[in-house]
Amino acid sequence: GYGDNYLHENAYDETDRISNAFNKLWDRYKVLDASREEFVANVSHELKTPLTSMKVLADSLLMQPDAPTEIYREFMGDLSEEIERENKIINDLLDLVKLDKKGANLNIKSQDVNELVERILKRLQPLAAKSNIELVFESFRPVTAEIDEVKIALVITNLVENAIKYNKENGWVHVSLNADHKYFYLKVADSGIGIPKEDTDHIFERFFRVDKSHSREIGGTGLGLSIARNAVVMHRGAIKVYSEPGEGTTFTVRIPLTYIKREG
């Protein structure tokens, strides 16, 4: 009768709805799973690269027991470099994982940002001096903000390190700090090699590098900018890049002066 049919159709609609919802969830899960798989594959690859070199170096030393001391020294120096690389990748990964956790804890304290920037620049001065790069800090006003000092230090360090690494001999890096009533603004500008237009959308992705071999050579892991972006986003801030290939690159970071805790 009429009632039966009505029930039947309703139940049919309901199953359809549930099955649609399930399919949607499943698709989302698959996307998440694929990106996790890709991440794990990338991590394995990155960790294996220095290990493979270490193995080759150690094996070739083992195969020539009468190798002269200079050869030993040279190989040991190379081994030490590879170990350092491996160490850097592991440290960057640990930073990233800490920042990736949903609801990861921020240790918010009122911080003198000028002092923080100055401290970091002082530490990076020797790296800049190595390539004869002029490192300048311009502070427009005193800035005190509620931030997680360790995480914002990662942002500043990664941006300035990149500005030095991807620069030219005798180049410059200009760091500036400004604020209005709501935000502070950090700008890191360099006279370096720049980033091709088609790559600026990708540089914040994990393991992305414009030039893999160049980045490796200078000790890059491809994680620095994703670490920086995660830390900025956790502070409800924004990070942007402007680049002119062959001319230089500017990163701007905007962070709220007062930290507003997320609901829930």
- Kindly state whether residue 116 participates in binding ligand ADP, applying the rule CB under 6 A: no
3-state secondary structure of 131: coil
Q: How far is CA 250 from the centre of its chain?
A: 16
Q: Which of 62, 36, 231, 59 is nearest to 152 (CA)?
A: 231
Residue 195, token pair as written in the block: 């980033």
Report d(CA 223, CA 235) in Å as an integer: 19
Residue 116, token pair as written in the block: 């923080």
Instruction: Pick out residues in 156-175 that bind ligand ADP (CB under 6 A).
Output: 158, 162-163, 166
Burial profile 33-56: b = 16 or more Cβ within 10 angstroms, e = fewer: eeeeeeeeeebeebeeebeebbee
Q: What is the longest distance spanned by two Cα atoms in the chain?
A: 98
Query: Which of 210, 231, 232, 239 forms a contact with ligand ADP (CB under 6 A)?
Result: 210
Stretch that binds ligand ADP, among 4-12, 38-46, 142-150, 216-224 (CB under 6 A): 216-224
Q: Which of 95, 252, 46 is nearest to 159 (CA)?
A: 252
Q: How far apart are CB 128 and ligand ADP at their closest, in Å?
A: 13
- Kindly state whether residue 249 participates in binding ligand ADP, applying the rule CB under 6 A: yes
8 Å CB contact between 189 and 249: yes
Q: How far apart are CB 225 and ligand ADP at their closest, in Å?
A: 3
CB-nearer residue toward ligand ADP: 145 or 203:
203
- Kindly state whether residue 190 participates in binding ligand ADP, applying the rule CB under 6 A: yes
Q: How far apart are CB 139 and ligand ADP at their closest, in Å?
A: 21
- Kindly state whether residue 135 participates in binding ligand ADP, applying the rule CB under 6 A: no
Query: Which of 57, 96, 121, 223 forms a contact with ligand ADP (CB under 6 A)?
Result: 223
Residue 252, token pair as written in the block: 């701007």
- Kindly state whether residue 221 participates in binding ligand ADP, applying the rule CB under 6 A: yes
CB-nearer residue toward ligand ADP: 106 or 155:
155
Query: Which of 184, 220, 232, 259 forms a contact with ligand ADP (CB under 6 A)?
Result: 220
Stretch that binds ligand ADP, among 75-83, 107-115, 144-152, 205-213 (CB under 6 A): 205-213
8 Å CB contact between 190 and 242: no
Which chain residues interact with ligand ADP by CB under 6 A? Answer: 158, 162-163, 166, 190, 192-195, 203, 208-211, 215, 220-226, 249
